[in-house]
Structure formats: structure tokens, C-alpha cells
């Protein structure tokens, strides 16, 4: 059975309009079936295809200047689609930014926040997130996950109280640390984008000088963005916990991630004098690409928190 959030099928890639193209800066692996097809493509484009594949270990495209996919043209459009059609894309290109968690009795699919358009779609949802295709289950972790999502979407309470309820349901708590300590922890991890490290260093330096009351007033009425962020994290990471202890780690990670996103938003407001929806999209995109899409970073935070 396949489970997915109610907004899942609304996603559409914006291709050349994307400011942070997924064909730049990421190693693009080629699955076995697609590789076999590419090896059979004839003519000049077939030769170009094969010349730009690294066949060592896991086959992948050879990235060009500025770590661009060799088939991303000057208009940020895909030459493989132009020459061979969308069906010729390898699995990773077809699926991104979708993720699929394979569980014993179901597959849970979703959209990753590392994609700016997926982030816009998720964070702009005003209605509560519901799961399509949900079925009865006796799995204790999934049942707990569903209660946690309900608690996070209880709009009679503020975000901080909802997070307290989430942690209470999981019988855990997040040890409060100075934001500078959190920044040091994150700076110690692998960094993909220099902008991320610059943000963390700036937050570490300026955190004590930010007018948080003004920031709260500025974003009044936008709690749904943080709600969607929290629900996304729990949906993506909680259900595949092998036991309660691991689920508790993911609950603490979710609470920490909200704290970080809030502080980064306040920093942006402090720096720019405003904090708009696109600022929120960019912060969540950066967070996701730096933390969620590095297994080493993600599991380090699970364990440390």
C-alpha cells in the first residue's frame, strides 16, 4: 500500500525557472536499466551520453564546470529530455525530490524540502496535512507517529506548546542549549554550501542582539509554515524508527530543527528588516539539503541530540 500527503500529487518541476537547480552540485547516479538504454543510444548524442558517464563503481554522470550536470544546457534545461524524451531520464532524475520509505506493510512517499518548489508547496499549505491511502495498522511506532502529527496540528495551541506535547507523547525532552552551542555543533558537520556556514556563523555572532519580540510580531499569522515544517519532518523520519528509543531521537531532532529554523528566520529579519515567505522557503531548502541529504549529518544529529 502506498501512503502520501494530500499535497503530494500537486508537485510540478519548474525546470529552468528554479534558482537552485537539482542538476547542479549533486552526483547523479544512473540505475542499471537506464544505463543499459544509454549504452544502446546511437548517433552523435549517443556518443555524447557515453562520453559523459563515469562507469567506475556506481555509474554516474561526470559533472562539468561549477558541478553542473553535463546535460544541463545554458537555459537550465535537460538535453536528455530534449533529445530522447522525459522517459529517458534515470530513476534519480525522474523521482527527485520525491522520497519513498519502505515499511513492512506500506510504502510512504513524500516530497523533500531540498527542492525549492517542493518547499513552496509544502510550506504554503493552509489546511492540515492528511495522509492519503492510510490504513489500519498495529505498528506501535506508526500509531505514535499519527498521534504526534495530530498534536502538531492542534491549532488551539501555539507552536511551542504543540512541540512540548509531541515530546511528551514520545516520553522524551530536548536538553536546552544556548543557540551558540547549536551553531558550533552544526558548523562541525559536513558543509555543502558556503552560504549555510555563513548563516550559522552570523547567527552565532548576532543571536543575543536579535529583537525576537519584533520578529514574532512580524510573522504573526504564519504559524502554518512552521506547522507544515514540523509535520513534514515527523512524517519523513519517524515511522522507520526501529524502536521507541530511535523514535525519541527523531522527535528531539524535530524540536531542534524548529528551534534552528526559527532562529535563522529571526536572523534574516534582523539583517534585512523583513522576513517573507520566500525567505522561509530558502532557509528550509538550505536546512534540508545540508542536514537531511547527508546521512552522516542527519544521523550525527539524531545521536547527539
Residue 119, in any domain of the structure: no
> Which of 31, 65, 95 finishes a domain?
95
Residue 253, in any domain of the structure: yes
Whether residues 151 and 234 share a domain: the answer is yes
Q: Domain count of the chain? A: 2
Whether residues 33 and 168 share a domain: the answer is no
Tens-digit pLDDT profile for residues 129-162: 999 986 678 899 999 999 999 999 999 999 999 9
Residue 185, in any domain of the structure: yes
> Which of 64, 95, 126 finishes a domain?
95
Torsion angle, alpha carbons of 6, 10, 16, 19, to 10: -30
Residue 124, in any domain of the structure: no
Whether residues 40 and 151 share a domain: the answer is no
pTM score, whole prediction = 0.89
Cis? peptide before 97, omega within 30° of 0: yes
Whether residues 144 and 285 share a domain: the answer is yes
Does the pLDDT value for residue 220 go beyond 80? yes
Whether residues 187 and 44 share a domain: the answer is no
Whether residues 288 and 159 share a domain: the answer is yes
pLDDT grade for 14, boundaries at 50, 70 and 90: confident
Whether residues 187 and 292 share a domain: the answer is yes
Does the pLDDT value for residue 15 go beyond 80? no
Q: Is-contact 71 24, C-beta < 8 A? A: no
Whether residues 198 and 78 share a domain: the answer is no
Q: What is the 3-state secondary structure (H, E, C) of the chain?
A: CEEEECCHHHCCCCHHHCCCCCCECCCCECCHHHHHHHHHCCHHHHHHHHHCEECCCCCEECCCHHHECCCECCCCCEHHHHHHCHHHCCHHHHHCCEEEEEECCEEEEEECCCCHHHHHHHHCCCCCCCEECCCCCCCHHHHHHHHHHHHHCCCCCCHHHHHHHHHHHCCCCCCCCCHHHHHHHHHCCCCCCHHHHHHHHHHHHHHHHCCHHHHHHHCCCCHHHHHHHHHHHHHHHCCCCCCHHHHHHHHHHHHHHHHHHHHHHHHHHHHHCCCCHHHHHHHHHHHHHHHHCCHHHHHHHHHHC
> Which of 67, 95, 123 finishes a domain?
95
pLDDT grade for 10, boundaries at 50, 70 and 90: very high
Whether residues 156 and 223 share a domain: the answer is yes
Residue 8, in any domain of the structure: no
Residue 55, in any domain of the structure: yes
Q: How far apart are CA 41 and CA 270, in angstroms?
A: 54
Whether residues 155 and 61 share a domain: the answer is no
Whether residues 88 and 144 share a domain: the answer is no
Residue 64, in any domain of the structure: yes
Whether residues 191 and 249 share a domain: the answer is yes
Q: How far apart are CA 57 and CA 212, in angstroms?
A: 50
Does the pLDDT value for residue 26 go beyond 90? no
Tens-digit pLDDT profile for residues 244-295: 999 999 999 999 999 999 999 999 999 999 999 999 999 999 999 999 989 9
Domain carrying residue 163: 138-304
Residue 3, in any domain of the structure: no
Amino acid at each position: 500500500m502506498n501512503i502520501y500527503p494530500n499535497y503530494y500529487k500537486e508537485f510540478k518541476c519548474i525546470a529552468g525557472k528554479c534558482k537552485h537547480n537539482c542538476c547542479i552540485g549533486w552526483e547523479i547516479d544512473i540505475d542499471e536499466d537506464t544505463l543499459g538504454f544509454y549504452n544502446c543510444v546511437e548517433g552523435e548524442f549517443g556518443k555524447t551520453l557515453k562520453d559523459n558517464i563515469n562507469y567506475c563503481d556506481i555509474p554516474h554522470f561526470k559533472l562539468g564546470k561549477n558541478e553542473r550536470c553535463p546535460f544541463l544546457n545554458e537555459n537550465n534545461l535537460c538535453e536528455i529530455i530534449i533529445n530522447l524524451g522525459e522517459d529517458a531520464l534515470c530513476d534519480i532524475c525522474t523521482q527527485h525530490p520525491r522520497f519513498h520509505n519502505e515499511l513492512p506493510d506500506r510504502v510512504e512517499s513524500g516530497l523533500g524540502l531540498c527542492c525549492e518548489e517542493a518547499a513552496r508547496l509544502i510550506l504554503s499549505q493552509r489546511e492540515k496535512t492528511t495522509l492519503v491511502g492510510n490504513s489500519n495498522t498495529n505498528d506501535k511506532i506508526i500509531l505514535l507517529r499519527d498521534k504526534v502529527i495530530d498534536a502538531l496540528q492542534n491549532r488551539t495551541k501555539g507552536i511551542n506548546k504543540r512541540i512540548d506535547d509531541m515530546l511528551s507523547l514520545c516520553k522524551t525532552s530536548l536538553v536546552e542549549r544556548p543557540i551558540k552551542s547549536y551553531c558550533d555543533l552544526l558548523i562541525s558537520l559536513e558543509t555543502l554550501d558556503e552560504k549555510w556556514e555563513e548563516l550559522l556563523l552570523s547567527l552565532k555572532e548576532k543571536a543575543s542582539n536579535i529583537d525576537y519580540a519584533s520578529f514574532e510580531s512580524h510573522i504573526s499569522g504564519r504559524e502554518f509554515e512552521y506547522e507544515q515544517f514540523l509535520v513534514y519532518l515527523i512524517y519523513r523520519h519517524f515511522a522507520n524508527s526501529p524502536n521507541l528509543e530511535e523514535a525519541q531521537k527523531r522527535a528531539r531532532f524535530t524540536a531542534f530543527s524548529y528551534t534552528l529554523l526559527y532562529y535563522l528566520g529571526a536572523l534574516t529579519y534582523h539583517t534585512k528588516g523583513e522576513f517573507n515567505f520566500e525567505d522561509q522557503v530558502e532557509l528550509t531548502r538550505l536546512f534540508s539539503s545540508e542536514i537531511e541529504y547527508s546521512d552522516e549529518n542527519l544521523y550525527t544529529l539524531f545521536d547527539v541530540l
